[in-house]
Amino acid sequence: MNEAHKLPYKSLGRKLRVLREKSRESVAEAAGAVEIDEKDLVKIELGMERPSEDILLLLVNHFGLDDDNAAELWDLAGYEPEQDLDGDDDQDSDRSASSQGSRNTIMVMIDPRVMYTDQFEVTANKQGVVLDFSQVTGHNGQPLKVARVGMSREQAKTLMGVLHQALFNMENPPRKNLDSGSSDTKK
C-alpha cells in the first residue's frame, strides 16, 4: 500500500501543523481552542484523518486565515465550498433566542479578528447574561457554537443601548446641509 492511501490528508495535516507552530501553540492549546481531543488533532496533522467541516471551519477561524488560505485548506480536505447561489447577502439577520433559522454557507472572514455568526441564543439569570453565537455549517445543518460571551446584567443593558444607537446611526445617517457659500446666516 502506498503512502497516499495510508495518509490521504498528509498535505492538509502538514499545513495545519505549520499554522499551529507559527502560532506557537502546543497540540493541547490548539485542540482546546477548537474543542477536540489532542489525539484527534495529532491524527489530523499526521494526515491520517480528515477533520469534519465544522472542525476545519473552527481551525480556519482560530488561525485567522484569509480567504485564499482557507480555500486551500478546504480543497486539501476535499470539501466543496458552498456558495449562496441566489446572491442574497441581505438575509434577515433578526434572530431571537428561539430562532432556528439558518444559512448553510461556509463563512470565511474578511477580517480574521471578526467572527461572523448565523444564530445566537441569549440566556439570562440573576448572575448575568450569556450570549451563545453559532454558525450552521456542514451537510447536517446542525448549529456549531463558535463563541460564548458572558456579562453582568449592567453590562448587558449598556450593550443593548450601544447596539440600539449603532443601528439607529446606520439607518439614519447624518444629513449634510449644502452650504450656499454665504456667511450671512441669521440665527
Place of cell 498535505: 11
The CA distance from 103 to 118, in Å, is 7
pLDDT of 120-166, one tens digit each?
A: 888 888 878 888 888 776 556 677 777 888 888 889 899 999 999 98
Regarding whether 168 and 106 lie in a shared domain, the answer is: yes
Q: Is residue 16 part of a domain?
A: yes
Which CATH number is 27's domain given?
A: 1.10.260.40
- Higher-pLDDT residue of 121 and 88 is 121
Q: What is the pTM of this model?
A: 0.46
3-state secondary structure of 110: coil
Q: What's the domain count of the chain? A: 2
Its domain, for residue 53, covers: 3-77
Q: Per the domain annotation, does 83 fall within a domain?
A: no
R_g (Cα) of the chain, nearest Å? 22
H/E element holding 121?
strand 119-124
